Structure 1
Amino acid sequence: MTDIDLSTIETERDRIRSAYLKPGGTSTARGLHHTALLCSDVERTVRFYQEVLGFPLTEMVGNRDYAGSTHFFFDIGNGNLLAFFDFPGLDLGPYAEVLGGLHHLAISVEPERWEELKASLAEHGVEFQEESGTSVYFRDPDGARIELIADPLGEMYGLKVL
């Protein structure tokens, strides 16, 4: 691991913040339609997201870009979808965090639902890590890191991020 100069990093962060931060700005987008992840087993993924996390499967179709692949969607609330593809026959390797790849996906849930979901993760033997009293991190069946956060949309740990 390369040594880092935290003071230099903070100075650069301040420079970028001063130059580009636009709180309350207007986006050209309407919102996140869906985020698409890869999975190795469609049924295992459906069972995990629907039965463990309570995200209803809303549609399942053939992938128009790869014959034999399935494209399927889960409702994660507020008009947002989490989608998956499988790619049978491609022999994809195990999940890896790489530059340009997924670090984690944070999904906002109501605080009481957050407690229920932690219990569901424990009941199903899913290892998780709780942080700051409002976040729980775990890995899905293929290793993608998921965060369930009890903070409202647009807020994170007491900060307004929207």
Structure 2
Amino acid sequence: MPQPEGAELDAVLARQEELRQLYLRPIEERPPTTARGIHHVAFICRDVEETIRFYQEFLGFPLVEIVENRDYRGSTHFFFDIGHGNLLGFFDFPGHEHPPIMETIGGVQHLALSVGAAEFDAARKALDESETEYLGPDRGVEDSLYIRDPNGVPLELYRERLGVFNGERILATAGAGD
């Protein structure tokens, strides 16, 4: 994807700063959110068992429920515990072809999952041993490993505490998951 350069880049950066000044408030001045958190994020999968093996066996996210999808008979809806009361869900849609995942408006650029240092190191070792492709510290981001699940869903294993971004606390309740 082409990146802006020159005057176009200057305009984009100026707009970012304008938005920052207009809308971003210091932590102590922000009102509390109206949401309680993410109940679950749901993705579509090609193969239920392959997806379960990847998330439960490879990444260590316990499978916590399997039910029939209430909106599509014969479709499986299942959930993994990804910590702090958050769930990662999947559906399969038997009999449907699914195009490859693509980065587009309304699509998923990636799902960033906070992991501790030991889990980050274990994931990197497992990726290296399984010869799974990933992008990591070699691209200049020391605390991130970018992978794709068996369905093509882009994931970032992010060695950063919840509520912290680039080492800076951005939420008043930051620090969970140390």
> TM-score, normalised to structure 2's length?
0.86
* Cα deviation, residue 7, structure 1: 0.9
> Does 1:147 find its partner at 2:156?
yes
In structure 1, list runs of 5 or more residues that go unmatched.
none
1:67 is matched with which residue: 68, 73, 90? 73
Letter in 1 for 2:159: A
Letter in 1 for 2:116: E
Misfit runs of 4+, over 3 Å: 1-4
Q: For each residue in 1:89-126, what CA deviation from the matched residue of structure 2 results, as whole angstroms up to 9, or x when unmatched?
A: 12121222221110000000111111011112223332
Query: CA–CA distance in 1 between the matches of 2:26 and 2:83?
Result: 24
- 1:12 equivalent in structure 2: 15
- The residue correspondences of 1:74-153 to structure 2 (distance < 5 A) are 74-131=80-137, 132-153=141-162
Tell me the secondary structure at the aligned position of residue 44 of structure 1: helix
Q: For each residue in 1:114-160, what CA deviation from the matched residue of structure 2 results, as whole angstroms up to 9, or x when unmatched?
A: 10111122233321111322110011101111000111001122222
Q: Structure 1 stretch 13-22 or stretch 68-77: which is displaced more? A: 13-22
Report if aligned partners of 1:39, 1:84 keep a CA contact under 8 Å in 2.
yes
Q: For each residue in 1:3-35, what CA deviation from the matched residue of structure 2 results, as whole angstroms up to 9, or x when unmatched?
A: 551111111111111111134321000111111
Aligned residues: 162
Report if aligned partners of 1:53, 1:120 keep a CA contact under 8 Å in 2.
no
Letter in 2 for 1:104: H
**Larger strand percent:** 1
> Does 1:49 find its partner at 2:58?
no
Identity fraction in percent? 48
2:24 is matched with which residue: 16, 21, 26? 21
In structure 2, list runs of 5 or more residues that go unmatched.
172-178
Tell me the secondary structure at the aligned position of residue 142 of structure 1: coil
Aligned CA-pair RMSD: 1.4
> TM-score, normalised to structure 1's length?
0.94
- 1:160 equivalent in structure 2: 169
Report if aligned partners of 1:135, 1:149 keep a CA contact under 8 Å in 2.
yes
Query: CA–CA distance in 1 between the matches of 2:3 and 2:131?
Result: 36
